[in-house]
Structure 1
Amino acid sequence: MATVTVFDGVRVFTGDGLTEPRRVYAEGERIVADGAPDAVVDGAGKVLLPGLIDSHMHTLGRDDLANLAQWGVTTGLDMAAWPLPFVTEMRGQAGVAQILSATTPAVGPGGNHAKMPGFPADGIVTSPKEAHAFVERRVADGADYIKIVTEAAPPEGMDQATVNAIVEAAHERDLLVVAHSITTGAFRVAVEAGVDISTHAPLDAVLDDETVARMREAGMVSSPTLTMMKGIAGARAGAGLKYEYARDTVTKFHEAGIRLLVGTDANSAPGVPFAPKHGESLHDELVLMTEAGLTPVEALRSATALIAQTFALPDRGVIEPGRRADLLLVDADPTTDITATRAVDGVWIAGKRVR
């Protein structure tokens, strides 16, 4: 028999606000409607949130996933990892955050990504005729979505036709396409290609009204990773990159009704311009998103249910019977003060307490 854990007297985040104090039951890995308790967690005065989800992070080892979990981030969407045996190993880790992965991303031959030590040669795509084969390799890898890096123009990045071809091939396989875009020109390439999700926000200028309108009309989603944008702008001061451009672009997205997801680009890679810390940085991202115009409730929804909906994760993102018991218990009300998410009282992954 699976253990039944009862969270007694908690206020539950619903996606729209908090309930009155109530009981939540978890039996084994799932939330259930009721049950005879084997263990009781005193939730008086506390708030129970669905486990947070980081919509953009990178995995270099189990420690990264453990750090996510310690901060209540129970799922991470890895946006580039290789080789495949390593990705498979990380997907199978127990007692830490669960990941999905893009495996190897598609990059142009002249960009910084292609020059990374050990970058897989089969991730470098030079023409439209290579697009189908690239996507089929990712399907064979079991990639959960396709990641591409867009640049304003060759030779650094792929040309428009190549990006278009990758998106078309991915959509034929019913895979979402996530585009790394950190300049306004790169955004336009991604929008023209019809990607599903843009990740990052431009640092060279505020994105223009026409491109924002095209994103809204196409139903594109944004994971702006403001934590990373702020870090890069600070690390490259004097290069004409301004964090304010990224922040103000997110404000435009919010005002336009574009869906926003919370993501950090957390990584532990050596030698990168900036490395947000796994788990902790998501709480920084929540603050930055509210500074860009989201309410605390909107920011929390963007770190839970909206990511689950966007990436088709029907077993998480909300607290209701049948969902995974991925839970974050905090000591204060984050719907009125977003920094309260840092007051972690406990974390459960698939019903097992990990903090």
Structure 2
Amino acid sequence: MAAITAIDDVRVFRGDGLTAPRRVFVDGGEIVADGIPDVVVAGAGKFLLPGLIDSHVHTLGRDDLANLARSGVTTGLDMATWPLPFVTEMRAQAGVAQIRSATTPAVGPGGNHAKMPGFPADGIVTTPQEAHAFVERRIADGADYIKIVTEAAPPEGMDQTTVNAVVEAAHERGLLVVAHSITTGAFRVAVEAGVDISTHAPLDAVLDDDTVVRMRDAGMVSSPTLTMMKGIAGARAGAGLKYEYARDTVTKFHEAGIRLLVGTDANSAPGVPFAPRHGTSFHAELELMVEAGLTPVEALRGATTLTARTFGLDDRGAIEPGRRADLVLVRADPTADITATRAIDGVWIAGERVR
């Protein structure tokens, strides 16, 4: 029989602020309303967050998931990983962050992604007629959402009609669509197609007001991955790419009321222009989001409850009875100072404490 754990006298993040000191019970893998504890964790003067959710990672092995867990990131939304047997293996890992995955993304025939060594041929979509088959393959793979790359026009990227067709096919099957867009032009393609979530922020200019308004009116969500954008701009200095464009675009999103999620593009792939480290980069991302204009509470919401709600992760993202016991205990108040998320005192994944 699983032991019942109580975290005593702790203030709990509820999405809009903190509760008064209270006791939180964990029984097995779930948060429960009460119980007789076998283990009591001292929480006085500490703060309890739902397990953090990184809305954009790439998974190359168990070590990536272990690094996420050690930093309090208990769920990673993988935005492109293959082949399928590897994805299946990573989904089954215990004691580390749990992933959801897009499996193989949809890309154009001549862009950077299509040129990656080992990129699956069935991820290259060249015509609207191929869009339905692509989505059906991803459903067969068990993809949790569809990822598409919007980039330069053909012959590098997919044309607008093909992007539209991928989005339409995914929506017909009830799947969210996440679009990789790092230029203003790529954002416009994604907005025109009606994607649900944009990931990254433009480095070539601040996104124009009309496109921002269209995003807001369509209910689009953004995961800007400022950590990655800052790294790419630094690595490609002199190419006309500026981190400030990405940051100021996020400020515009925030002012417009566009929902903002916390994501890093963490990856450990060789040869990439920048590789945010799994886990530790999440705390840097929180800090960059606050620098872009979010309050600490808004950033924490985008790291927990809002991401869970956006991606339909109904079993996590909040500290309530019946939810999965993914928890992060920190020693200082992150609603007052976002850097406090780094002061981790304990992490639980499905009720098991990460050692």
TM over 0.5: yes
The one-letter code of the counterpart of 1:4 is I
Give the Cα separation in 2 of the matches to 1:107 and 1:269: 18
**Does the CA contact (< 8 Å) of 1:148 and 1:177 recur in 2?**
yes
Q: In structure 1, what is the equivalent of residue 187 of structure 2?
A: 187
Q: In structure 2, what is the equivalent of residue 52 of structure 1?
A: 52
The one-letter code of the counterpart of 1:347 is V
SS of the residue corresponding to residue 262 of structure 2 reads: coil
**Does the CA contact (< 8 Å) of 2:101 and 2:145 recur in 1?**
yes
Q: In structure 1, what is the equivalent of residue 350 of structure 2?
A: 350
Give the Cα separation in 2 of the matches to 1:93 and 1:250: 34
SS of the residue corresponding to residue 125 of structure 2 reads: coil
Give the Cα separation in 1 of the matches to 2:99 and 2:19: 29
Offset, 1:141? 0.1
Give the Cα separation in 1 of the matches to 2:104 and 2:28: 34
Give the Cα separation in 2 of the matches to 1:152 and 1:247: 22
Give the Cα separation in 1 of the matches to 2:20 and 2:213: 39
Offset, 1:152? 3.8
Offset, 1:155? 1.5
Q: In structure 2, what is the equivalent of residue 327 of structure 1?
A: 327
Give the Cα separation in 1 of the matches to 2:4 and 2:301: 27
Offset, 1:273? 0.3
Q: In structure 2, what is the equivalent of residue 145 of structure 1?
A: 145
What is the TM-score with the length of structure 1 in the denominator? 1.00
SS of the residue corresponding to residue 323 of structure 2 reads: coil
**Does the CA contact (< 8 Å) of 1:346 and 1:354 recur in 2?**
yes
Deviation per residue, 1:312-350 (Å, 9 max, x gap): 000111101000000000000000000000001000000
Give the Cα separation in 1 of the matches to 2:300 and 2:96: 21
Give the Cα separation in 2 of the matches to 1:303 and 1:44: 24
Deviation per residue, 1:121-146 (Å, 9 max, x gap): 00000000000000000000000000
Q: How does 1:305-344 map to 2 (within 5 A)?
A: 305-344=305-344
Q: In structure 2, what is the equivalent of residue 38 of structure 1?
A: 38
Q: In structure 2, what is the equivalent of residue 109 of structure 1?
A: 109
- Between the two proteins, the alignment pairs up a number of residues equal to 355
SS of the residue corresponding to residue 54 of structure 1 reads: strand
Offset, 1:154? 1.5
**Does the CA contact (< 8 Å) of 1:28 and 1:350 recur in 2?**
yes
**Does the CA contact (< 8 Å) of 1:152 and 1:189 recur in 2?**
no
Q: In structure 2, what is the equivalent of residue 197 of structure 1?
A: 197
The one-letter code of the counterpart of 1:55 is S
Give the Cα separation in 2 of the matches to 1:135 and 1:41: 46
Give the Cα separation in 2 of the matches to 1:15 and 1:197: 21
Are 1:177 and 2:162 matched, yes or no?
A: no
Give the Cα separation in 2 of the matches to 1:133 and 1:87: 20
Give the Cα separation in 2 of the matches to 1:257 and 1:349: 32
SS of the residue corresponding to residue 49 of structure 1 reads: strand
Give the Cα separation in 2 of the matches to 1:48 and 1:197: 28
**Does the CA contact (< 8 Å) of 1:177 and 1:196 recur in 2?**
yes
Give the Cα separation in 1 of the matches to 2:239 and 2:102: 30
The one-letter code of the counterpart of 2:64 is D
**Does the CA contact (< 8 Å) of 1:290 and 1:296 recur in 2?**
yes
Are 1:218 and 2:212 matched, yes or no?
A: no
Q: In structure 2, what is the equivalent of residue 296 of structure 1?
A: 296
Q: In structure 2, what is the equivalent of residue 135 of structure 1?
A: 135
Offset, 1:184? 0.2
Offset, 1:79? 0.1
SS of the residue corresponding to residue 115 of structure 1 reads: coil
Runs of 4+ in structure 1 off by over 4 angstroms are: none
Give the Cα separation in 1 of the matches to 2:4 and 2:152: 54
What is the TM-score with the length of structure 2 in the denominator? 1.00
Give the Cα separation in 1 of the matches to 2:53 and 2:150: 24
Q: In structure 1, what is the equivalent of residue 284 of structure 2?
A: 284
The one-letter code of the counterpart of 1:336 is A
Deviation per residue, 1:227-278 (Å, 9 max, x gap): 0000000000000000000000000000000000000000000010000000
The one-letter code of the counterpart of 1:172 is E
Percent of pairs with identical residues: 86
Give the Cα separation in 2 of the matches to 1:171 and 1:306: 21
Offset, 1:3? 1.3
SS of the residue corresponding to residue 202 of structure 2 reads: coil
**Does the CA contact (< 8 Å) of 2:11 and 2:21 recur in 1?**
yes
Give the Cα separation in 1 of the matches to 2:5 and 2:16: 25
Q: In structure 2, what is the equivalent of residue 20 of structure 1?
A: 20
Give the Cα separation in 2 of the matches to 1:15 and 1:169: 34
Give the Cα separation in 1 of the matches to 2:261 and 2:127: 31
The CA RMSD over aligned residues, in Å, is 0.5
SS of the residue corresponding to residue 105 of structure 1 reads: coil
**Does the CA contact (< 8 Å) of 1:152 and 1:183 recur in 2?**
no
Offset, 1:2? 2.1
SS of the residue corresponding to residue 154 of structure 2 reads: coil
Q: In structure 1, what is the equivalent of residue 256 of structure 2?
A: 256
